[in-house]
Amino acid sequence: ESYNKDILNWLRVDGVEVNSNFDRAREKCHPGTGQWFLQGSAFERFRGGVGECIWLHGISGAGKTILSGSIIAAMRTHVESKPSTGLAYFFFAYTDKAKQNTFNMLSSIALQLAERISNIPSRVITLYNNNKSRPPMSVVLEVIICLARCFHQAYILLDALDEIAADERTSLLKALNEIIANARLSNISLLMTSRRESYLVDGFHDLLLEEISLTT
């Protein structure tokens, strides 16, 4: 218990909180928004399978963030009564500098997973003890992988990947490659939304993920 609070503080980044973005997405949502996806087979696979990785892409104005809000709301309900299930999400935002970099996203995901765990794994405590100041990105990634393994299923949802700062694209792709490579072993299911930018197409080229276009 004593370590839990220290580790939550270690992972917390000032100015990064996700619920304001979620609330805004929900405010713009009309009843029934996103039902076509929530009732479809891809969402069923995402919710029910381990290692599912889905990339939803569409042009600007296709309603991706509003759909993300609907998906997250459905997942919050899904995990509510399941303590063995993890859920973490992050909205990249070109209007908010704190939500345009990879480190802040990873720290937020790690923090949200850690908040659902009563006994932090010993490996994470070791990583904390060895990196008490701001941990490097590779350590936060390892923390996510370790924490995800504490759950039967850990769901990670990332909205608007393309709103990350241009100089952060390489680190984002590196981090996503790592998460996707460990998805099945770490019980992670990952869902991402963005515009279909060429650097994402290239970066995801060799990864096992399902692409769904919102604009075809």
The pLDDT score that the predictor gives to residue 62 is 74
Decide: 164 and 199 in contact? Cβ < 8 Å.
no
Is the alpha carbon torsion for 120, 6, 139, 87 positive or negative? positive
The pTM score is 0.94
Q: Does 2-213 carry CATH code 3.10.20.600? A: no
DSSP string, 46-78: HHH-SS-EEEEE--TTS-HHHHHHHHHHHHHHH
26 pLDDT tier (thresholds 50, 70, 90): low
Q: Where are the domains of the chain?
A: 2-213
| Tens of pLDDT, residues 110-166 | 999 999 999 999 999 999 999 988 899 999 999 999 999 999 999 999 999 999 999
